[in-house]
Structure 1
């Protein structure tokens, strides 16, 4: 399973990836909006948006991409490790 995480804290990006790896999930983390953001998302199985630390422009890019692809999006108000672990445990196979 592949996951894209949008938002969160810059210093926590590698921690988010390590947590996803522990659940045997591939991940991409975007804490800042890169150029050509919508195309860099790719085709994940799930998009996780940390709404508290995500810009409106990034959220618009996620919305535009997921409307085209039909990828499920989960919004988390907290960008904490425990919130991410709780969400990933729901999708862990």
Structure 2
């Protein structure tokens, strides 16, 4: 499974990647603001947005992209490791129910 994380803290980047790896998830990260983020997304199975670390316009672009492509997305204000674990668990449950390709 491939998951895109937008937002988060640079100092937690290695922890985000380690947690994803332990769960068999290929994690793509955008922790710093970047223009035209939707052009750089590529193929992902789900998107997690930590809203306290991204602008409103980037958040809106990502939501519109996800809805247009039918990609499940999760948004949360918190950007901690425990929050990411929760979303990984939610994705696992969704995948088991057949909600992810």
TM range (shorter): 0.7 to 0.9
- Contact 1:7–1:55 (CA under 8 A) maintained in structure 2: no
| TM-score between the two structures when normalised by the length of structure 1 | 0.87
* Cα deviation, residue 55, structure 1: 1.5
Partner of 1:64: 64
Off by >4 Å, runs of 4+ in structure 1 = none
| TM-score between the two structures when normalised by the length of structure 2 | 0.81
1:15 aligned counterpart, secondary structure: helix
Give the count of matched residue pairs: 93
Q: CA RMSD in A?
A: 1.5
Unmatched runs of 5 consecutive residues or more in structure 1: none
Larger of the two Rg values belongs to structure: 2
Unmatched runs of 5 consecutive residues or more in structure 2: 97-101
* Cα deviation, residue 7, structure 1: 0.6
Go from structure 1 to structure 2 and tell me whether the alpha carbon gap of 1:23 and 1:33 turns closer, same or farther (over 3 Å shift): same
